[in-house]
Structure 1
Amino acid sequence: MPDTVRVYISVGTNIDREHHVSAALDALADWFGELVISPVYESEAVGFDGSAFFNLVVGVDTELSVGELSRRFKQLEADNGRRRNVPRFSARTLDLDILTYGTRTGVVDGVELPRGEILKNAFVLRPLADIAPDERHPVCGERYQDLWQEYRSGQKLWPVDFKWQGRQISQAVG
């Protein structure tokens, strides 16, 4: 029997944001059961002029391979209207990315592990640090909490009110 591994997944959308975050969480809960869910953050679009994104990170335990996860996520994106024939930096209904797969590193089933965006984008690092503060980045070895405290960028993000299945996931500050 395959080993169970903790996987962290980034979820992002800037089109019909509440609907698509909820659709992603519903599908992930159906597949994996209990989810570890970060607060939902709103952030400005990075790399293009567009409406603000909702971003969060979800932790799941799974026996599925990286390739099987990637296939499921691409299908879920397609089922939610994600188009692939558009520029990389553009509006999107749903974006799911495998951030880490246990402590695996390198390219696994065509997926770079850990995902480089962890160290580059506040909208990935902050929610990851929220739910896995003491876990360590598989390459640099730093704790996510420490990486977030040391993070310096002009990227702004802020928590938003968000409920899923009657549960308060996050609250706006102030």
Structure 2
Amino acid sequence: MTRIYISLGSNIERERHIRAGLDALHAEFGELAVSRVFESAAVGFAGRPFYNLVVGADTTLPLATLCQRLRAMEFAHGREPDAKKFAPRTLDLDLLLYGELICESPITLPRGEILTNAFVLWPLAELAPTLCHPTDGRTLGELWQAYDKSAQQLSPIPFHWEARELQHQ
């Protein structure tokens, strides 16, 4: 079993697509560790604000198969196959960590956004504050503590999924 962390984001019908993404991930992996949901401004383009969160799950899927399944989930929820990198999203699923794996193919891991985007780092640090970043060496909690929080505005929001409120205990 490999512990994985996936970032979810949406800025088109945000609540509907975040719930649909959580449902799809739950159907694929079973029990999920789920961060709070955060609202943040679009990064890299002018667009409506996003809802973002991170989930943790365990899988036996090989990396390439996992990447294909996440992509299929995005397409099933309205993502265009030729969607630009910095553009509005119905559902964006980004694999952040696959155990301690460091690789460049079929995707780059650990994902670079962990170190640069508050909407990835804060919810990831909530779920796994003592986990060490595979290349940086610091824990995710230490990385969040050192992050320049004035760089990106981020707000936790009330959000319910499967009759439970997503909030960090």
TM over 0.5: yes
What pairs with 1:33-112 in structure 2 (closer than 5 Å)? Answer: 33-108=30-105, 110-112=106-108
Secondary structure of residue in 1 paired with 2:6: strand
What one-letter code is carried by the residue in structure 2 that aligns with 1:131?
L
Whether the 8 Å contact between 1:13 and 1:92 is mirrored in structure 2 is: yes
Deviation at 1:107, TM superposition (A): 1.7
Correspondent of 1:28 among 25, 30, 34: 25
- Asked if the contact 1:22/1:164 (under 8 Å) is kept, the reply is yes
TM-score norm. by structure 1 comes to 0.93
Structure 1 runs (4+) deviating above 3 angstroms are none
In the alignment of these two chains, the number of paired residues is 167
Paired residue type of 1:77: E
| Gapped regions of structure 2 (runs ≥ 5) | none
Q: Percent of counterpart pairs with the same letter?
A: 50
Q: 1:136, 1:105 → 2: CA distance?
A: 13
Unaligned runs of 5+ in 1: none
Call closer, same or farther: CA 1:31–1:86 in 2, change over 3 Å: closer
**Alignment partner of 1:144 is 2:144:** no
Normalising to structure 2: TM-score of the pair? 0.96
Cα RMSD, aligned residues only: 1.1
Asked if structure 2 preserves the Cα contact closer than 8 Å seen for 1:45 and 1:51, the reply is yes
Q: Distance in 1 between matches of 2:84 and 2:74?
A: 16
